[in-house]
Amino acid sequence: MTQAFQSPGFAALAADRAVETRLVEERWQAVAWDLGTGRRRVVTDRPGGVHLSEIEPDGEAIWWFDTDSAGEGRWRREPFTGAANGSDGTDGSALLGVPPGRPYGVAFDRTGALAAVAVGVDDTSHCYVGPPAGEGRLIGSAPGYLGLADLSPDGRLLALGGRPDGDDAVVLWPTDARADGRLRLAGDRRRRLWPIEFNPLAISEPELLLVVEEDERYTVATWRAGTGLRGYPGLSFDSQITAGWYRGPRGVLIQHERAGRSRLLLADLGLPAAPGPTAPGPTAPGPTEPGPTEPGPTARRQAEHAPPVREISTPGGTIHDLSCAPDGALHCVWSRESTPPRPLVLRPGTQPADHPGPDRDDTSRSRRWTPRPYGRIHSFVSTPAGPGPWPTLFLVHGGPATHDRDSYDPRVNALVGRGFAVVRTNYRGSTGYGARWQHDYGHRVGLAQIEDLAAVRAELVADGTALARRTGLCGFSWGGYLTLLAMGAQPELWSLGMAAQPIADYPAAYRATTPALRALDRQLFGGTPEEVPERYRAADPRSYVHRVRSPVLLVASRTDERCPPDQVAGYAADLRRLAVPHELLWVDGGHYSRRTADHRSVLAAMVRFAERAWPAPLPRPPQGDRPGVPAEPMEGGEQP
């Protein structure tokens, strides 16, 4: 989904200054926003767009990441008032001496006198600190991926995050070379850790906010050098959360993601528990129960020790992006299925604003829970008006650590408008449904996910929503990977596959992708292709390419570093050798273009491809067309 804007980044010490990353003439650019006058000034004019921008705490300058088509580059800096880069004799570098690389994070101390950046160069993460526009000093390097979470307010300590279940889940580095060495907080399969940010008001002793996943729950936690890691059981949830410090010395804002919807809560870690069960619904329903449940004994005991919590009124749907202004106002990018993304400003502690109602359209929308022995699979189903069945496309989300939401997706509207039913399924591995749903499928990477897609397909065919002989898959990135895997592993189910920027050859993609994604693959598979070759072989689309018999559209970029082009080209060569109808479309923009025109052209190509593959409506299926009865096989890979 492409939004027109992201939530602003505010200068902590200059309440009237902010930076936005917005669409300007269909390209993302950094924009300086003067809240006092309402004036916005476009800072950048990059042909490929800009996807990262920051503002210094005192509001003096804007930082933006100047990237090439392969995703590498360096941070640039420009005064908020707009003096041209290079006027001071520099090249506009935000921190001198830092090599070009992938952006792994940026942070500032309390005043903005010191900045820190992390960059990935080849297979190594490097972290530098220095005064803005001054010389950067290398603090440390580490193999693989380490993302910079924050710099402490006093500028003395860096917090970085690696694999949440690894030895480097949280890494704390002193910025003073004379200080004591690094400290690591290790995770494992039973406890995963994510560093968030330092408390901006804890000056004398840094206090780091974290999220901890343990015992199938996600809990707010803090770390101090003197007391170590401390969890808050009363702030424990059964599905994913993120958190941030919010005003006051111990205020925390929590965003809870559950079954495709967002909610916001405020807690105060410094206040005693209020009388009664004040915990924010820690027993929210799991994937086996779509409805609410009553708190159990454990939840009631946790509630007795919970910090005071209140929920912020929101209009339902999804909070895509969120930032906090110095005055406490929450600036959100919000949408729901029927309503395109729009800015939403929430002011906790005041009367709830009138929330926008849904836009009217001609699409029928429903939510499905498909029962399986291991839980219920949640799907969002959108259909044209009138009776079915319809030719049906599964729009498969990427990640895998994300999920489809109650949010607007222009691709859904475009496809429904051309007569397709569209299904968005949160298969196993998706976030938003708890730790077990995300992790508990062994190392059957891909195979568990396409089993879930097949189960939802069977239900939709049985109830008259989907035409059995015209169900297909459309996915981007990891969703494209699942599309190709299913086309070969389940050829009797899918009569069309469209995969953009996919993994088409898993071992080859592993060898050529980024360090961060190699770390994710090792987590998913339990090792490298050399260590567990049978798992990669079972999950590899090329292992099944000889079974593909329906049309396939491949979309790839020659500058894609995440899903490299050579392995897609190799898969296309296999289809050509096997005489399977297919197209290979090369596009610009790398793995994810920052130009909206590129996204529109890819979607248009997919619509054209689907309409050629399914040129005319089929008659309604006979009574015998039930789930479990495969569609008639196609001859020699020809189009249906």
Phi and psi (nearest 5°) for 53? -145, 150
pLDDT at 353: 63
pLDDT at 276: 37
pLDDT at 597: 76
- Cα atoms in the 13 Å half-sphere on the side-chain side of 154: 11
Distance CA 311, CA 316 (A): 12
Q: Which position has the token pair 């069960």?
A: 277
- Is the pLDDT reported for residue 386 higher than 50? yes
Ranges assigned E (strand) in 347-417 = 364-372, 375-383, 390-396
pLDDT at 354: 66
User: Of the given ranges (180-194, 284-298, 441-455, 514-528), which has the lowest mean pLDDT?
Assistant: 284-298
b/e code 607-631 from CB counts within 10 Å (16+ = b): bebbeebbeeeeeebeeebeeeeeb
8 Å CB contact between 428 and 450: no
Distances (CA, A) of 72 to 162, 222, 325, 556, 558: 20, 33, 30, 19, 15
Planar angle of CA 467, 471, 475, nearest 5 degrees: 155
Mean pLDDT in residue range 466-493: 97
User: Of the given ranges (43-57, 81-95, 109-123), which has the lowest mean pLDDT?
Assistant: 81-95
- Is the pLDDT reported for residue 142 higher than 50? yes
pLDDT at 418: 93
Phi and psi (nearest 5°) for 455? -65, -40
pTM here is 0.86
Mean pLDDT in residue range 75-80: 96
- Is the pLDDT reported for residue 623 higher than 60? no
| Residue at 253: amino acid letter | L
Element containing residue 403 per DSSP (H, E): none
Maximum CA extent, the chain: 78
Query: How deeply is 579 buried, as exposed, middle or buried, from its count of CB atoms within 10 A (0-12, 13-18, 19+)?
Result: exposed
Confidence of residue 132 (pLDDT cuts 50, 70, 90): very high
- Is the pLDDT reported for residue 288 higher than 60? no
Three-state SS for 238-298 is CCCEEEEECCCCCEEEEEEEECCEEEEEEEECCCCCCCCCCCCCCCCCCCCCCCCCCCCHH
pLDDT at 346: 94
Confidence of residue 631 (pLDDT cuts 50, 70, 90): very low
- Is the pLDDT reported for residue 296 higher than 70? no
- Is the pLDDT reported for residue 272 higher than 90? no
- Is the pLDDT reported for residue 561 higher than 80? yes
pLDDT at 285: 38
- Mean pLDDT value across the chain: 87
pLDDT at 180: 65
Rounded to the nearest 10°, the torsion over CA 157, 162, 167, 171 is 0
Distance CA 338, CA 357 (A): 9
Helices (H) and strands (E) in the chain, counts: 10, 34
Confidence of residue 596 (pLDDT cuts 50, 70, 90): confident
All structural domains of the chain with their residue ranges: 1-94, 239-350, 364-613
Distances (CA, A) of 587 to 149, 557, 565: 33, 5, 11
Rounded to the nearest 10°, the torsion over CA 88, 91, 97, 103 is 120
Positive or negative, the CA dihedral 323, 325, 330, 334 is negative
Distances (CA, A) of 349 to 310, 313, 346, 422, 513: 10, 10, 9, 40, 47
Share of the chain above pLDDT 70, in %: 86
pLDDT at 393: 98
User: Of the given ranges (238-252, 259-273, 481-495, 503-517), which has the lowest mean pLDDT?
Assistant: 259-273
pLDDT at 363: 75
User: Of the given ranges (149-153, 174-178, 571-575), which has the lowest mean pLDDT?
Assistant: 174-178
pLDDT at 51: 87
Token pair of 483, please?
């599309």
**Distance in angstroms between the alpha carbons of the first and the last residue of the chain:** 30
Per mean pLDDT, which of 163-177, 339-353, 616-630 is the most reliable? 163-177
- Is the pLDDT reported for residue 130 higher than 70? yes
User: Of the given ranges (129-143, 248-262, 301-315), which has the lowest mean pLDDT?
Assistant: 301-315
364-613: CATH number:
3.40.50.1820
pLDDT at 306: 62
Mean pLDDT in residue range 82-109: 81
Residues 6+ apart with CB under 8 A from 110: 12, 57, 153, 154, 155, 200, 203
Mean pLDDT in residue range 153-175: 95
- Is the pLDDT reported for residue 305 higher than 90? no
Mean pLDDT in residue range 401-426: 94
| Residue at 611: amino acid letter | E
pLDDT at 351: 65
Phi and psi (nearest 5°) for 514? -80, 160
Tell me how long the chain is. 640
Higher-confidence residue of 357 and 490: namely: 490
Mean pLDDT in residue range 69-90: 75
- Is the pLDDT reported for residue 274 higher than 60? no
